[in-house]
Amino acid sequence: MICPVCKSDMIVVEYHNIELDYCTGCKGVWFDSGELELLLESQGLEETNLFLDNILDSPEAVSSEKKRKCPLCGHKMKKITIGEQPKILIDMCSEEHGLWFDGDEVNQLIRHLAGEHPPKQDSREQVVSFLEEVFEAPE
């Protein structure tokens, strides 16, 4: 799959049967529809469905950030925000193909999840260390 930002070829990263597409050029990540949910659920993060419903119901955010195209269907994606202080601006395909996070937005998401959805036991550490591994991997 081609990165919607820098047009590099993205690599597929697999973890517990969840596949993410990761761009080594700009460190962005694409979650196919359902994969973010699977990832959160596999880590025992509660309120996942509520969190994702909120995302899907979000109104289009006002932003000067350039519109990006869905890597699956090529349609322009909708800008939406997650959380408050800071708001995380992400791109979502309106056909529900998936979500795009810029590299720094993934880190913001991790912080958001860690702060607002305290998980059981060490699952936060697991998901955080998984994401850190993935996104700081040398290739």
> Residues interacting with Zn ion, by CB under 5 A?
3, 5-6, 8, 23, 25-26, 70, 72-73, 93, 95, 97
Residue number with CB closer to Zn ion (75 or 120): 75
The token pair that represents 85 in the structure block: 């202080």
* Contact yes or no for 127/117 (Cβ under 8 A): no
24/81 with CB nearer Zn ion: 24
| Strand ranges in the chain using DSSP code E only, listed in sequence order | 11-15, 18-22, 29-32, 78-82, 88-92, 98-101
Q: To the nearest whole angstrom, how small is the minimum distance from the Cβ of residue 137 to Zn ion?
A: 15
User: In whole angstroms, how close is the CB of 30 to Zn ion at the nearest point?
Assistant: 10
Q: Looking at beta carbons only, is 45 or 109 nearer to Zn ion?
A: 109
* Nearer Cβ to Zn ion (63/94): 94
Q: How far is CA 80 from the centre of its chain?
A: 12
- Find tokens 């969840």 and name the residue: 18
Nearest-approach distance from CB 69 to Zn ion, in angstroms: 8
